[in-house]
Amino acid sequence: MNAANPNIVPETEQETLRQELNSCLDLQRQAYLANPIVSYQQRKADLLSLKKMLVENQDDIIAAISKDYGNRSKHETIFAEVVTVLQTVNDALKHLKSWMKPQRRKIDLTLYPGAKNRVYPQPLGVVGMIIPWNFPINLSMTGLVSVFSAGNRAMVKMSENSRHLTRLLMEISGKYFNHDKLAFFEETGGVGIEFSQLPFDHLIFTGSGQTGRKVMAAAAKNLVPVTLELGGKCPAIIAPDYDLKKAVERILFVKLFNAGQICTNVDYVFIPSDKRQQFIDLCSDYIAEHCPDINSNDYTSIIDDIAYRRVLDTITDAKDKGATVINLQPNQESAEGMRKVPPHLILDTTEEMTIRNRETFGPLLMVHTYDNAQDVIDYINMRDRPLAIYPFSNNKALVQRYIDSTMSGGVSVNDALFHVAQHDLPFGGVGASGMGHYHGFDGFLTFSKLRPVFYQANFTAMKFLAPPYGNFATKVLNFLTKFNSR
Sheet holding 448-455, edge to edge: 103-105, 116-123, 448-455
pLDDT at residue 14 in the model = 87
Is residue 144 classed as helix, strand or coil in its secondary structure?
Answer: helix
Residue 86 CA to residue 48 CA, distance in Å, equals 10
Which structural domains are found in the chain, ordered by start? Answer: 11-230+438-449 (3.40.605.10), 234-421 (3.40.309.10), 456-484 (no CATH)
| DSSP 8-state code for residue 221 | T
pLDDT at residue 4 in the model = 46
pLDDT at residue 110 in the model = 73
**Residues contacting 43, CB < 8 A, separation 6+:** 96, 100, 148, 149, 151
pLDDT at residue 9 in the model = 66
Put residue 436 in one of left, alpha, beta given phi > 0 → left and psi -120 to 50 → alpha.
left
CA distances from 447 to 194, 208, 440, 443, 456 (A): 22, 22, 11, 6, 28
Catalytic annotation, residues? 229, 263
pLDDT at residue 288 in the model = 95
pLDDT at residue 332 in the model = 85
Q: Which helix (H) or strand (E) holds 149?
A: helix 136-149
**Residues contacting 88, CB < 8 A, separation 6+:** 141, 142, 145, 423, 439
pLDDT at residue 130 in the model = 98
What is this structure's pTM? 0.94
Is residue 85 classed as helix, strand or coil in its secondary structure?
Answer: helix
pLDDT at residue 8 in the model = 61
**pLDDT beneath 70: ranges in the chain:** 1-9
